[in-house]
Structure formats: structure tokens, C-alpha cells
Amino acid sequence: MSGNSTEGRVYHERHDHVLKIVIDNPAKKNAFSPEMMEQLSDAFTLLNKEEDLWVGVLCAKGDNFTAGLDMPKFFGPTATRKPRPEGNIDPFGLANQCRKPIVTAVTGIVFTVGIEMMLAGDIVVAADNCRFCQMEARRGIAPLGGAHFRFITRAGWGDAMYHLMLCDEFTSAEAYRIGLVQEASTRRCRQHPPKVVAKSVGEELGRQIP
């Protein structure tokens, strides 16, 4: 594990061949600081490099997946953003993508980079209470973490344009309908938190590896 929990952190745990990666900043609805983004990159890099790690599971502490970036820490005079270390995995899979499958478990608020992180992975498990929103256009900025093309790939042109341009909030049921989420409202999703279901999916994926 790594990181300073008082400032928010991303830490990881090994479970046999599964690397569980946890976003831990619930006091700020798991908003990302630059330091947390660096820790996420480090965790994905570990998953990518270690041969005995076969699958990653990305989840979050608390009631929400993430409210997005802590904007003043990334942009403007108080920004503390740093370049990603050379060779590290890009959490959005734009520059250097992890070669291992990633299962993402989402709950509660899933805004902006939260959607882009789950789209950069492979399989998404969602709780029934999710509130998805790709709101960048409302702020006059572009979704630069991959939503501008992955949303279209997953959902198709019409549904992608609807949600990207209207910047509306939509539910887990809608995310499942358009293909952003692969498992929601199933029996095991109703019986267990999404992070537990996602870990189970990750273990099932690992068993398929020869």
C-alpha cells in the first residue's frame, strides 16, 4: 500500500493474481489530486509489469466512485500537476496502455474522468445508484481522457452525442442499455457491492488464462 490517506490516496492490494486498486478520498467524493493520479499510474504500471498479476480491479472507498478532478490542483496558479514518469501506464490508456484486463466497479457519483477511466478498462460492474455525467462541454472544455472517441465506440454515435452534448446525468440502467456497463442489477449485483462482484469477475477472467 502507499499514499497519504489524509490528503486522499490510491492504494493497491494483491489478491493472488488479482491487483485490487482502490481510490481513497471519500471526504471529497473521491476527487482526484495530481498525487492520486500518479499513484493510480504507478498501480497500473505494477499490474502491467508483474507477470504473476493477471487482472486489475479498480474500485473506490465510500459511496461514490469519483466526482472527477480536483480542478484547481490540475489547472491554474495553484496547480501541482506533474508529468507522468517515463514508461508509466497512462490511466486513460491514451499514451501507454496496460496490457492486462481491468474490471472497474462503480457506485454513486461517476463524473467526467470516472467515466473515462472505466471506458479505458475492459469490463464495468455498476451499482444501481450510479449517477453518470460527462459534463465537460457544459464548462466549455473537451473530455480529453478518451471519452470523445471511446463513448462513441461503446455506445454508438446517437447515444454518445446525446450524453456528451447534453451533459445530462444518467442512471446505471441507461449506462447498461447503451453498453458503457456490462453488469448492473443482476442477482449478484443486488446481493453484493460492485467491488465484490468486480473482484469475482476478475478472478473468473484469471481462470481463463492458460
Give residues with Cβ within 8 angstroms of 33, minimum separation 6: 7, 8, 25, 70, 73, 80
pLDDT band at 156 (very low <50, low <70, confident <90, very high): very high
Helix axes 113-120, 147-155, angle to 10 degrees: 60
Average pLDDT taken over every residue of the chain: 91
Q: Does residue 176 register a pLDDT over 90?
A: yes
What does each C-alpha distance from 107 to 16, 112, 142 come to in angstroms? 25, 14, 24
| CATH number of this structure's domain 5-207, picked from the four choices 3.40.50.10880, 3.30.70.260, 3.40.190.10, 3.90.226.10 | 3.90.226.10
- Which pLDDT score, from 0 to 100, does residue 6 have? 60
- Angle made by CA atoms 155, 161, 163, in degrees to the nearest 5: 80
pLDDT in tens, 34-93: 999 999 999 999 999 999 999 999 999 999 999 999 988 888 888 888 889 999 999 999
- Which pLDDT score, from 0 to 100, does residue 2 have? 46
